Structure 1
């Protein structure tokens, strides 16, 4: 009979009590009973994984569009986040609710201006309208649907009312679908990327129209407040931004504390796996197609991009894959990498503890107790495969 699988212990799911100098996680600074209770509640909530948006020069005007908005830093692949720090931030912020939190004894400002600084967003240009100041009445939802989606796509309404609900994401052109996936991961966290809600459609319209300035700092700030006000159905959002806010004020943490890795970025491979319309080419900024009137041709159908024009599968990840297949493969690779990283992390911690007990001075070849984790990719050097044992 095969042995039972050992139970994996999430080190972030318990409040550590040991001294951090002895190789264990640092104790969260929870200043009162309410914060301790909130931290304990958050231990049962997953932390949403964010993803980067890294199109290449083969993806039309997407790269210049990101650069023009000043979102290059925000669209980079997010770093691994420290789970205990993120939970401590939200536990303390839940009680204060004044735009500040306390993490490891340091005050963390999460007002819009502070968020804009850490994500690298530029100030609004004078000629651009501020999207955040718009109201629902300023948007023509039927026009948004008709411009972004193939002909014949309509909104779904709430039963028995005229209230708009959503339209299918698969009906949009792939530029808009890529932005929708990025929005669901980083701006308006949602696990329902297959349906475009009214709020997300309005934000998508603001992003794709170059005359608008979308204040991400304000948007993320409001999202944090929404979570703090008790949105029980939400998982913990904006972990990468929270980590950057904490680092900006000097919050430090041991290299061995448990990290959560991001998912694979949205890149040329992801875009190549998305369905495309026939009968037109994408406009410069991804709004519809260069057809008369700027709308898709009536009766336009969905078709796969030609893979012989898109480049070899080696040049573009996932070439020829369906979007669902590529997403599942990416999730499996993420899970494998996370498992391997956690094993290396726990093995290193065990070795550190063992060698400390022996009072042995060990020179770590790649990373050590005080080094950044995960370690950078290190190319093999000549002689790496040699057996030094006699």
Structure 2
């Protein structure tokens, strides 16, 4: 059974309850001072605490999507690899569909009613990077009357070290997009859901690292080119948006600002505005001061020509550490850049907060994209 399986969580909770009850039941029998009784008490206490902590950990992992598999949890996940060249000229396109699954909505078993989620590998020729993703195709994509229509698309990025599966199971992006489009609040849109790091376990912060992964190139050039070549998606900036939370939010804002010719809109939920340097990132800039400055979004707004793109930022007055930084970022934006915001009275840096912001974010980005 998989790490994120409800059966695993149920078994862990059941084991914890049984051990707790068993401890209470057996404790009087183990009250003697013999070494066997003492060993029994210690063993029961340790086993009960391990079961309780395992239950809490599994529950938190399901809520926040930290790890997708057991191998990922124990550091054994080594794929997908970096430095994988998918050359269309060799007969295989840069997008390879690995699996399909229905969307968890009424009638979801029929693509023309519920849409479809495709698990894919995306190869990048310019960056020489390959990365997995999930692509949500709306119901209209499969309906005959739309067979010649091109759809707008948005890249959706997790935080670090989140999993792409969490965007489906935890944040419910496909379900929310389906519901919003069905109610007429947004246009049908393709979503490309993935991690912001394309070289796990390293946190690349969507930077073209000197001598390392060219992550910004992958998202700015390879991904849109690959998706537009495989699906009915336009190639103009007005056809493309990008959304993310936390690390993914920083990436979304940066990519929209650095590449307004590719992304007409970028939304950063609970984003920060400067790439951190820590044990997960390593040395991102290798002494390249210009690269480091460009990765600082406040510096970029102050020193570079304002990009012609639309930005959305979110925070909360209580519970988010980026609130004051977000206000400063908004104040620095100058035309022709457009800035919008979502400000909650309270909300932490977590899935519950982002689920409250996602419907409005999808409406906002849909209103700034075109299918022409």
Please confirm whether the aligned pair reaches a TM-score higher than 0.5, indicating the same fold. no
Query: Relative contact order, CA 8 A, sep 6+: which one is greater?
Result: 1
| TMscore range, shorter length | under 0.3
**Alignment TM-score, normalising by the size of structure 2:** 0.24
